[in-house]
Amino acid sequence: MSTDNHKKNARERRFATKLIHFGAEIDEQTGASSVPIFQASTFHHHDIFNPPQYDYSRSGNPTRQALEDYIALLEGGARGFAFASGMAAISTTFLLLSAGEHVIVTEDVYGGTYRLLTSILDRLGIESTFVDMTDFEAVKAALKSNTKAVFMETPSNPTLKITNIAQTTAWAKEHGLLTMLDNTFMTPYHQRPIELGVDIVLHSATKFLGGHSDVLAGLAVTADEALGKRLKQLQNGMGTVLSAQESWLLMRGMKTLQMRMESSERSARRLAEWLSEHSEVTAVYYPGLPNHPGREIHEKQSLGYGAVVSFDVGSGERAKALLSKVQIPLVAVSLGAVESILSYPAMMSHAAMPKEVRHARGITDGLVRYSVGLEDIEDLIEDLDNALRP
Please list the active-site residues. 58, 110, 182, 207
**Segment near ligand PLP (CB under 6 A); pick from 171-179, 202-210, 368-376, 378-386:** 202-210
Nearer to ligand PLP (CB atom), residue 271 or residue 335? 335
Q: Residue 321 CB: number of other CB atoms within 10 A?
A: 16
Restricted to residues 288-327, the positions that interact with ligand PLP (CB under 6 A) are none
The nearest distance, CB 187 to ligand PLP, in angstroms, is 11
- b/e for 112-143, b at 16 or more Cβ within 10 A? ebbebbeeebeeeebbbbbbbbbeeeebeebb
Q: Looking at the chain, which runs of residues are DSSP E strands? A: 79-83, 102-106, 127-131, 147-153, 178-182, 200-204, 218-222, 283-285, 308-312, 330-331, 341-343, 367-371
Q: Is 78 exposed, middle or buried (0-12, 13-18, 19+ CB in 10 A)?
A: middle
Is 348 an interacting residue with respect to ligand PLP (CB under 6 A)?
no
Measured CA to CA, the distance from residue 183 to residue 218 in angstroms comes to 11
Measured CA to CA, the distance from residue 244 to residue 40 in angstroms comes to 8
Q: For 335-379, give the secondary structure using H, E and C.
A: CCCCCCEEECCCCCCCCCCCHHHHHHCCCCCCEEEEECCCCCHHH
Among 169, 191, 206, 267, binds ligand PLP (CB under 6 A): 206
Among 92, 191, 204, 340, binds ligand PLP (CB under 6 A): 204
DSSP sequence for 218-286:
EEEEESSHHHHHHHHHHHHHHT-BPPHHHHHHHHHHHTTHHHHHHHHHHHHHHHHHHHHT-TT-SEEE-
Distances (CA, A) of 199 to 181, 220, 223, 234, 254: 8, 10, 5, 16, 23
Contact pattern for ligand PLP over residues 50 through 89, marking x by CB under 6 A: -----------------------------------xxx--
Question: Which residue of the chain is nearest ligand PLP when measured via CB?
Answer: 86
Nearer to ligand PLP (CB atom), residue 88 or residue 272? 88
Contact pattern for ligand PLP over residues 157 through 196, marking x by CB under 6 A: x------------------------x-x------------
Is 207 an interacting residue with respect to ligand PLP (CB under 6 A)?
yes
Nearer to ligand PLP (CB atom), residue 96 or residue 216? 216
Nearer to ligand PLP (CB atom), residue 65 or residue 157? 157
Is 240 an interacting residue with respect to ligand PLP (CB under 6 A)?
no
The nearest distance, CB 70 to ligand PLP, in angstroms, is 18
The nearest distance, CB 90 to ligand PLP, in angstroms, is 6
CA-closest candidate to residue 276, choices 226, 245, 250, 311: 311
Among 200, 216, 227, 297, binds ligand PLP (CB under 6 A): 216
Nearer to ligand PLP (CB atom), residue 180 or residue 281? 180
Distances (CA, A) of 151 to 95, 139, 203, 289, 378: 13, 11, 13, 26, 38
Give residue 17's Cα distance to chain centre.
21
The nearest distance, CB 210 to ligand PLP, in angstroms, is 9
First to last CA, the chain: 64
The nearest distance, CB 224 to ligand PLP, in angstroms, is 23
Restricted to residues 127-156, the positions that interact with ligand PLP (CB under 6 A) are 153
Nearer to ligand PLP (CB atom), residue 109 or residue 388? 109
Nearer to ligand PLP (CB atom), residue 246 or residue 312? 246
**Segment near ligand PLP (CB under 6 A); pick from 64-72, 139-147, 201-209, 274-282:** 201-209
Nearer to ligand PLP (CB atom), residue 184 or residue 187? 184
Among 60, 80, 211, 218, binds ligand PLP (CB under 6 A): 218
Among 36, 76, 112, 314, binds ligand PLP (CB under 6 A): 112
Q: Contact positions toward ligand PLP, by CB under 6 A?
A: 85-87, 110, 112, 153, 157, 182, 184, 204, 206-207, 216, 218
